[in-house]
Each structure stands twice: as C-alpha cells, then as structure tokens.
C-alpha cells in the first residue's frame, strides 16, 4: 500500500511539471496511430536512429522552419543517414495544429515534408512522455534506444524567417555525432516556439 | 478591429502632439513608445516607456518566458553616440496553458527602457530615435507581431517632464518589482532549488520567477513557508539548474492580504556564504549546537550517568589531578568521536543519496533493542546489582587513581552519546537540520560543536578543581542517590522497549524482553564471578546469547491507522488541498521523545482534538518510526532533518510550520485564524 502511495506521488509529480526524460538514458517507450493508419512503437525501430519532431502547422515558429525549407532540409539530411523521422502532432482536437490522418497527409504533401511517419498524438501521451513543451521541439534516439538529444532545432529562438540563415542546427550536429559514434556535444537545449496545444 | 482602427487614428493625432510615438496597431495589441521628458540634455538619459494594450485573453512574455514563448526584442536605430539601455520588465505573472506555464504579462504592460544621449549633442538639435520592436503575443495560439516606432527628441538644456504621460510612468513604476530588503540566499539540492529570503511583512504565499530560463520547472508547485521572519521556497529545478553558479536573479512575488507584490531578488549561493545558513549564521548555529549539547546533560537518560561521574570526582579531590584531567579529556574524546562518527555516517549516507535524518539509527529495531540492553545494564549497575572496575562502595576512586580507568572514561563518553540520541530535543533540530544541508566539513563541525557541548560540563569539572566545591559533599547519601537514579534509567529502557514493540510488534517485544533477561543474567554472573575468569566467561556468553534476539527482530508492517487519522501520502494531501480541505501533518516517530510528549500533552488534549474536529481538518500522521523515503523527502522539502515537525495547510493556503515546542495555544490559534479567514 505504501509502495503504491509512493508511485502515485511520483507520477503526480511527473505530470504536474511536464519534465523531460533523462538524457543519455533509455528513451520513453511509446506506440501510437500514424497518418497512414499503421500503429508504430519505438521498440520496432531498435537498430535504427529515430528523430521525433513536434509540429503544429498554425504555429509561426513551425512555419518559419517549413516556409524557409529548413525543416525539409533537416529531414533530407536525416533520411540520407537512414534515420526514422517521426513527426508528432500532440494538438488536441479543436486546438491549433490538430490533424486527422487526411489533414496530416495533406500537410506533409503541401509542405514538401519527408517524415517516415506522422504520429497522431491527440491524447498528448507521447508529448507528455517526452516533456514536449513547444513546437517545434526535437528528440534524437540512437540505435540502442537511448535518448541523445532533446530540445530546440537550432539556436535562433525567433519566428523571423531571416533568423534561419546562420543558425546552428542542434539536431543535425547531434545526428552527426551519433552516426560517428561520438558523444553528442550539446545534448539538451531549451526548446522555443508555441506551447504544445495539449488536451486540457 | 474597427474600434482599434478608430482609436489608432485618435491616438495617432494625440501621439503626434503629445510627445509620443504613433500608436502601432497590430492584430492583438496597441503599442507606443513614450518619453518621460520633453527632450533630453546633452549626455543625459532619456527614459522611455514601451506601453502596450493587449487584447483580452492575450499575453506577451517576461524576460524568462517559462515553458514556451519569446520575450520582447528591441532593435534600435540611434544617432551616432547614443546608447540604448536594457529593458525593465513589470512583475510577471504565471499564465497556464494546459499542463504548461508561461511567465508573462496581460492587460496593459509597460516596459521601461532608456537612451543615453550623445555628450556632444547640440542644444537645439533633434535626435531621431527609431525602434523596431518584435513581440510574441499568445492566447492559446501564438502570433509574432512587430512595430516600428519613431521619436523626434529635441536636445535641450533642462528637459521638462512629460506631464501628460506622468500617470503612465507612475503605473509602470508601481508594476516594477522593488528590491527585496535584506539578503537572500539559495542552495541547490539535487533537482531542488531552495530560496531563503527575508520576509517583508506578513506574506502568506509566494512564487519565485528566475530571471533566466530553465532554472525552474515553471508548472511545478513551489513550496512556500515562513520561519523566524524568513521565507523559504522549494522550487523544482529545470534543465539549467545543474549549471547554475554565482548569483541567482529573479522576481519573488509575495501575496500579503490578497495583494500580490513583486520583489527583485539577487540571491547568493548558500555554500559560498555559509554565514547565512537557515536559522542564522554559522557561528550562531555552532553556538546553538554547543548549548544544545550542554543541555543534553540534564536529560533524564543522560543525567544519572554524568551526575554520578561528576560526584565521584569530588570524592577524589585529593587524588591524582593529572589522571583526573586525562579522564576528563578521554571522556570528551569519547563523546566527540562518537558524535562525529554518527554525524559523519549520516552525512556520508546522505551524500550517497540516502534520505536520512537525525535519529536514523533508531529506525533499526536492532539498534533500539541494543539501546534498551545498554540502559538496562546501566540501570543494574546504578542499582548496585554489579559493578565494573571498582567496588560498589568505593566507586570511582580506584579507577580514577590509575590508568585502569582510561577505557572506562572513554566508554562513558560513548555511552553518553548513545543514551542522549533519543533525547535530542527541539533546541537541537535546527543545527542538525542545517548540518545536513551544509557542505560536509561544516556539517560535521556542527556535530562536533554539539558533542563538545555535551562533554563540556564534565570535562570542565575535571580541569577546575575549584568548581567541584560547588558539588555536594560526597557521603553515604551518594549511594542511595545512585540507586535512586537507576529508576529513570530503567524508565528509559522501558521506553526503548515500547519503541521496539511499535517497530516490531509483540514478537519483537518478546525477543527484546528475552534479551534483557540474558543481560540481567550476565550482570548476575559477573557479580558472582567477580574478577574470576569463569565469571567473566559466563557473563560474556550470556551477553553474546542476548544478541540472538537482536538479530531476530524485524520491523513489522505499519500498524493500521488509528481512528480519524490518515497515513502520509503526498498525492492524497495534494488532492485534499485542491479540494479546499485543511490538512495537518504530524511528522513523528515512536523513538522520538519530544514527539511523544507533544502527542500526549498537546495533540491528544481534548480541546485540541475538538478544535481539529470542528474545523474539519484532515489529520495526517507521517510515522517515521521505520525508514520511509517518501517521508524523508517531505521532511527535507520543509527544510527539516528529523522529527518532530508539524505542518498545517489552511484551506487553500500555503504550509505553516508550527513553532516548537508545540503548545496547545499555538495549535488552537491556527483554527482561530481560519475562521477569521473564511468569514465573509
């Protein structure tokens, strides 16, 4: 009974502050429905590097990265390295950025995006598990299922399109280190952007 | 939107004539740049207000935006030689967006800034000041907005106040956080940030906004409490907490009588300035520890042993003074090394991540059983059932004369600490709590100060023969007195047996009593055998057998909750508080004498019980008799390191820590305040 109480206390504490998972530790497991109708889970990608990208097409910060082609460029670089790219939509129904399968696929097509999967996380479970606070927000999981990077896509917290040029892309840097089997230099940054529109 | 346009037109006209920029109207805000004075002197400072009126339900961000968002950004275009100053933000507020919390401003925030005019600006000329401001404005969705503002500022010898805008600047000034009087300190303990600041007035609640991002977890509750005129806030840390060093800047918002007020805080790291650990300066803590230790000499479990030792010294006033001093020092050494070992063990275990507090060794039933044995043996000795190293009649005089008494003097010191541990009273909880939070070397010094205090009276007697004259003349009465003192010691042994029964149930009690029987047998065998070998061997064998029950005692499952009392569960407490229920938490342990006294004299008093029932307070008992990491965590969040601790949450309010020693009045006052608070 006491053990149960401890667990209850801990889980309460974890959800109330939406803290991110520990870096360099096994990434939180998840599974969920994607826009193609398939259900994916993190376990099935053991042996592959996985990128998670939180998005909300109505958010000006996300728009900055898609309208300048920066996100697509990052996706291409990841694809070339054989990475599994999962775009996560944690917006709840009725909130900004929410998408059903059809809208999610349309967005991918319109934006010229190249994710392997678009995860429809309308309950926000995956977002909460990863402590996703903003869109965009990135997470990088290595082949062994260990979380190696979480935070912002780059070092320019701005919605201004011009800020993309000259920015340091943290995700690409982390990806290169992971592919080279080296430790990631910048493992955690403060994500910037719009708040994730969770179900309240 | 049409209204906005109309107002914008009006303001544009007004703006042009009233020495302010045009109003920039964006989708969700109206913004303008206002100078505080008409013109600026050469080399002078032009104070400016960036005043915004936000659409209802929308907010902009503070310099630390919290979980998401972006602060205001200024890009100036200034004449050569002019320099822009920083932005003074109004006191921020918390803005919840689902599970996230942002720090920002709603309504009509005013951001203050300034421009330093060039020294060589000619009076009569005009400075062209241009500002491109960018802000992110959000409701549940976010929109970046931008505006260009321009001012033509005349260079004059003596600028006049911009009287038309005086009210705006007054409002801006009132919204700024004011410097917090007194000094503030912070410390980092794992993932928790603790802030310790002087309390201005009777603040009832508080929240700390760190100036930089990632220091705190914005959505986490901050634990607020007041103690001795100071405010303590426990803040869950964010990802940047671990790399925090140097001063910590931020705004502390305190609520007093329903009014919130912001205070600018620059907190110094506590381990850099140990002079201000909680509860006073390090010197003060050391002093408190010393006197607390000295007071322990009067505790019922310690006094008999030490009194007898002191009295016997008077017996040998004519004896070997150097031997006496040596014994005094050895005794002190015994006390100090035992205290240091126990304190060091505590600090080492805490450093290793274990959540332990003072008295933790008493959470082991084996230690409790052994303590009962020791006290029982001491009692038997005092009662005259057996003696060690001297005849009963000639107590002390033999061994004080020769070196044979050295180990005994040292062991008496050890014994004094062992029996003093459960008696550590309220006057020692502050230094011990601080010891656990300070760096290990300083923490240890507090334990040593306490030990020195405990050892001081006796050691002093051994050094100042004059002081011994203050003691009553030895005589036959001493033997009686000694025998009489065996009873408080037996009582202490009985107390430990009760603790054992609380920890282990009836079976543990039976084992403990069996052990005592063997200890008694060992004492008898020793007395019969005298100095003969068989007696010693038989006694040691009996003592060894007495250890068997010690090895067999096991903590029993927590006993069922007494009627009307709730077990400790942070989640349950959070639920009750959220539901507006008042909660009283009694952090206690069976082995804590002070706790039991408070329970009997205050908490179980009919008046107090009735008041609890009448006020509908949920009474939670956090029983720390056996180890419990959840309770340890909670204690440390309240800055306490051991029990007793009494915490009261008024309905919808923040934690109040009850002063010690606990009195009926202090408990009853709590509810009196409640009824005042809830009256319409």
pLDDT digits (tens, 9 = 90+) for A122-171: 999 999 999 999 999 999 999 999 999 999 999 999 888 999 998 999 99
- With contact defined as beta carbons under 8 Å apart, do B617 and B646 qualify? no
Domains within chain B, CATH numbers bracketed: 2-175 (2.60.40.1250), 179-272 (2.60.40), 282-552 (no CATH), 566-678 (3.40.30.10)
Identity of the residue in B142, B213, B238 whose CB atom sits nearest the CB atom of A60: B142
User: Dihedral sign, CA of B376, B377, B380, B385?
Assistant: positive
Contact A18 B214 (CB under 8 A): no
Largest distance between two CA atoms of chain A: 57
Residue B201 dihedral angles phi and psi, to the nearest 5°: 75, -165
- With contact defined as beta carbons under 8 Å apart, do B90 and B175 qualify? yes
- With contact defined as beta carbons under 8 Å apart, do B618 and B582 qualify? yes
Taking each helix axis from N to C end, the angle separating B303-315 and B440-463, rounded to the nearest 10 degrees, works out to 40
Distance from the Cα of B381 to chain A's closest Cα (Å) equals 43
What letter would DSSP give residue B357?
-
In chain A, the percentage of residues whose pLDDT exceeds 90 is 78
Q: What's the pLDDT tens digit per position in A14-44?
A: 334 566 788 888 999 999 999 999 999 999 9
Contact B142 A194 (CB under 8 A): yes
- With contact defined as beta carbons under 8 Å apart, do B577 and B614 qualify? no
Distance of CA B85 to the CA centre of its chain: 39
Chosen for mutation from A4, A9, A11, A151 (greatest number of chain B CBs closer than 10 Å) is A9
Two tokens at B617? 């307070």
Q: What is the pLDDT of residue B390?
A: 43
Q: What's the pLDDT tens digit per position in B448-494?
A: 888 888 888 877 877 776 666 666 666 677 778 778 878 877 887 88
Chain B positions touching chain A (beta carbons under 8 Å): 67-70, 73, 97-100, 102, 134, 136, 138, 140-144, 213-214, 217-221, 236, 238-240, 558, 567-572, 574, 628-630
Give CA–CA dist A120/A101, Å, rounded.
7
Give CA–CA dist A57/B351, Å, rounded.
47
Contact A2 B99 (CB under 8 A): no
Chain A positions touching chain B (beta carbons under 8 Å): 2, 5-6, 8-9, 12-13, 15-20, 58-61, 95-96, 128, 133-134, 157-160, 188, 190-200
Contact A200 B98 (CB under 8 A): yes
In 3D, which of B582, B563, B553 has the Cα closest to residue B672? B582
- With contact defined as beta carbons under 8 Å apart, do A127 and A94 qualify? no
Distance from the Cα of A10 to chain B's closest Cα (Å) equals 8
- Does residue A79 surpass a pLDDT of 70? yes
Give CA–CA dist B263/B175, Å, rounded.
10
Query: Which chain A residue has its CA at the smallest distance from B67's CA?
Result: A133
Radius of gyration of chain A (CA): 16
Strands B142-154 and B126-138: antiparallel
- With contact defined as beta carbons under 8 Å apart, do B661 and B598 qualify? yes
- With contact defined as beta carbons under 8 Å apart, do B230 and B270 qualify? no
Q: What is the pLDDT of residue B675?
A: 45
Residues of chain A with Cβ-Cβ distance to B214 below 8 Å are: 190
- With contact defined as beta carbons under 8 Å apart, do A108 and A38 qualify? no
In 3-state terms, what secondary structure has residue B164? helix
CATH code: domain A19-195 is 3.40.30.10
Q: How confident is the model at residue A10 (pLDDT cuts 50, 70, 90)?
A: very low
The structure's pTM equals 0.53
Q: What is the pLDDT of residue B622?
A: 87
Q: How many Cβ atoms are within 10 Å of A11's Cβ, its own excluded?
A: 11
Contact B142 A2 (CB under 8 A): no
Please name the residue that has the structure tokens 């062209």.
Answer: B128
Q: What is the pLDDT of residue B483?
A: 81
Give CA–CA dist B662/B646, Å, rounded.
8
Query: Which chain A residue has its CA at the smallest distance from B68's CA?
Result: A195
Please name the residue that has the structure tokens 């592959």.
Answer: A48
Contact A192 B70 (CB under 8 A): yes
- For the complex shown, is ipTM > 0.90? no
Q: What is the pLDDT of residue B31?
A: 96
Contact A2 B220 (CB under 8 A): no
- With contact defined as beta carbons under 8 Å apart, do A72 and A38 qualify? no
- With contact defined as beta carbons under 8 Å apart, do B182 and B197 qualify? yes
Q: Which helix (H) or strand (E) holds A141?
A: strand A137-141
Q: What's the pLDDT tens digit per position in A44-74?
A: 999 999 999 999 999 999 999 999 999 999 9
Give CA–CA dist B381/B524, Å, rounded.
10
Domain boundary assignment for chain A: 19-195
Distance of CA B307 to the CA centre of its chain: 36
* DSSP secondary structure letters along B25-83: E-SSEEEEEEESEESB-TT-EEEEEEEEEEPTT-BEEEEEEETS--B-EEEEE--TT-E
Distance from the Cα of A60 to chain B's closest Cα (Å) equals 7
Give CA–CA dist B654/B564, Å, rounded.
23
B69: left (phi over 0), alpha (psi -120 to 50) or beta: left
Give CA–CA dist B179/B176, Å, rounded.
9
Contact B99 A60 (CB under 8 A): no
Query: Which chain B residue has its CA at the smallest distance from A96's CA?
Result: B141
Q: What is the pLDDT of residue B262?
A: 93
Distance from the Cα of B220 to chain A's closest Cα (Å) equals 5
Length of chain A: 200
Residues 6+ apart with CB under 8 A from B540: B522
Q: What is the pLDDT of residue B224?
A: 87
Q: What is the pLDDT of residue B497?
A: 85
Residues of chain A with Cβ-Cβ distance to B212 below 8 Å are: none
In 3D, which of B596, B606, B604 has the Cα closest to residue B565? B604
In 3D, which of A22, A43, A19 has the Cα closest to residue A31? A43
Contact B236 A197 (CB under 8 A): no
Query: Which chain B residue has its CA at the smallest distance from A94's CA?
Result: B140
Contact A16 B220 (CB under 8 A): yes
Two tokens at B418? 């062992």
User: Which portions of chain B are predicted below pLDDT 70?
Assistant: 1-19, 271-281, 299-301, 305-320, 349-363, 387-406, 419, 421-440, 465-475, 530-532, 553-565, 593, 639-641, 660, 673-680
Largest distance between two CA atoms of chain B: 113
Contact B138 A195 (CB under 8 A): yes
């Amino acid at each position: 009974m006491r053990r149960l109480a401890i667990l209850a206390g801990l889980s309460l504490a974890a959800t109330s502050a939406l803290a991110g998972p520990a870096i360099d530790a096994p990434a939180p497991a998840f599974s969920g429905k994607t826009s193609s109708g398939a259900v994916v889970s993190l376990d099935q990608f053991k042996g592959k590097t996985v990128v998670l990208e939180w998005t909300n097409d109505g958010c000006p910060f996300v728009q900055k990265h898609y309208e300048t082609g920066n996100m697509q460029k990052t996706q291409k670089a990841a694809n070339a390295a054989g990475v599994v790219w999962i775009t996560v939509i944690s917006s709840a129904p009725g909130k900004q950025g929410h998408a059903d399968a059809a809208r999610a696929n349309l967005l991918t097509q319109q934006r010229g995006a190249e994710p392997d999967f678009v995860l429809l996380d309308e309950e926000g479970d995956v977002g909460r598990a990863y402590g996703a606070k903003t869109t965009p927000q990135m997470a990088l999981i290595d082949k062994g299922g260990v979380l190696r990077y979480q935070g912002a896509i780059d070092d320019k917290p701005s919605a201004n399109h011009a800020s993309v040029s000259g920015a340091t892309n943290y995700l690409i840097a982390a990806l290169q280190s992971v592919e080279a089997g080296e430790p990631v230099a910048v493992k955690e940054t403060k994500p910037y952007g719009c708040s994730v529109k969770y179900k309240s | 939107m049409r209204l906005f346009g109309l107002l914008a037109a009006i303001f544009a006209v007004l703006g042009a004539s009233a020495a302010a920029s045009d109003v920039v109207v964006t989708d969700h805000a109206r913004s303008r740049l206002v100078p505080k004075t008409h013109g600026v002197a050469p080399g002078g400072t032009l104070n400016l207000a960036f005043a915004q009126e936000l659409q209802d339900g929308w907010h902009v961000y503070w310099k630390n935006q919290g979980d998401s968002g972006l602060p205001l950004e200024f890009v100036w275009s200034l004449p050569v030689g002019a320099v822009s100053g920083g932005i003074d933000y109004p006191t921020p507020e918390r803005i919840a967006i689902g599970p996230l919390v942002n720090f920002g401003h709603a309504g009509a925030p005013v951001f203050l800034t300034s421009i330093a005019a060039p020294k060589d600006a000619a009076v009569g000329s005009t400075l062209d000041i241009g500002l491109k401001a960018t802000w992110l404005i959000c409701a549940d969705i976010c929109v970046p907005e931008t505006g260009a503002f321009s001012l033509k500022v005349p260079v004059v010898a003596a600028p006049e106040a911009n009287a038309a805008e005086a009210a705006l600047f007054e409002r801006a000034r009132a919204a700024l956080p004011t410097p917090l009087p007194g000094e503030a300190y912070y410390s980092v303990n794992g993932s928790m940030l603790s802030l310790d600041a002087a309390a201005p007035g009777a603040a009832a609640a508080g929240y700390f906004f760190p100036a930089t991002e990632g220091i705190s977890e914005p959505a986490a509750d901050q634990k607020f409490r007041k103690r001795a005129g100071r405010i303590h806030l426990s803040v869950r840390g964010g990802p940047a907490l671990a790399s925090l060093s140097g001063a910590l800047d931020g705004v502390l918002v305190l609520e007093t009588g329903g009014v919130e007020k912001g205070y600018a805080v620059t907190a110094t790291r506590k381990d850099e300035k140990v002079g201000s650990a909680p509860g006073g300066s390090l010197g003060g803590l050391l002093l408190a520890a010393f006197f607390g230790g000295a007071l322990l000499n009067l505790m019922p479990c310690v006094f008999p042993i030490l009194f007898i030792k002191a009295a016997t010294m008077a017996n040998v006033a004519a004896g070997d003074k150097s031997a006496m001093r040596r014994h005094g020092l050895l005794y002190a050494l015994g006390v100090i090394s035992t205290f240091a070992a126990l304190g060091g063990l505590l600090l080492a275990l805490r450093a290793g991540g274990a959540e332990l507090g003072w008295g933790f060794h008493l959470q082991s039933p084996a230690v409790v059983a052994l303590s009962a044995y020791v006290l029982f043996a001491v009692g038997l000795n005092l009662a005259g059932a057996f003696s060690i190293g001297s005849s009963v009649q000639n107590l002390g005089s033999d061994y004080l004369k020769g070196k044979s008494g050295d180990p005994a003097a040292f062991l008496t010191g050890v014994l004094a600490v062992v029996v003093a541990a459960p008696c550590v009273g309220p006057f020692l909880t502050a230094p011990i709590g601080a010891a656990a939070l300070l760096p290990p070397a300083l923490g240890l010094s507090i334990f040593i100060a306490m030990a020195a205090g405990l050892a001081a009276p006796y050691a002093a007697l051994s050094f100042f023969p004059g002081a011994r004259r203050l003691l009553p003349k030895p005589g036959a009465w001493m033997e009686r007195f000694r025998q009489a003192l065996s009873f408080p010691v037996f009582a202490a042994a009985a107390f430990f047996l009760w603790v054992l029964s609380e920890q282990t149930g009836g079976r543990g009690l039976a084992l403990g009593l069996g052990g005592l029987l063997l200890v008694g047998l060992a004492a008898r065998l020793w007395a019969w055998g005298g100095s003969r070998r068989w007696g010693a061997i038989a006694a040691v064998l009996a003592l060894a057998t007495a250890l068997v029950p010690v090895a067999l005692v096991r903590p029993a499952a927590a006993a069922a909750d007494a009627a009307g009392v709730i077990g400790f569960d942070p989640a349950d407490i959070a639920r009750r508080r959220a539901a507006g229920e008042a909660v009283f938490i009694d952090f206690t342990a069976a082995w804590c004498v002070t706790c039991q006294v408070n329970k009997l004299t205050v908490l179980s008093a009919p008046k107090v019980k009735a008041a609890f029932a009448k006020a509908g307070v949920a009474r939670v008992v956090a029983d720390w008799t056996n180890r419990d990491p959840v309770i340890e965590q909670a204690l440390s969040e309240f800055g306490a390191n051991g029990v007793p601790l009494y915490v009261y949450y008024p309905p919808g309010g923040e934690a109040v820590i009850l002063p010690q020693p606990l009195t009926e009045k202090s408990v009853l006052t709590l509810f009196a305040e409640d009824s005042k608070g809830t009256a319409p």
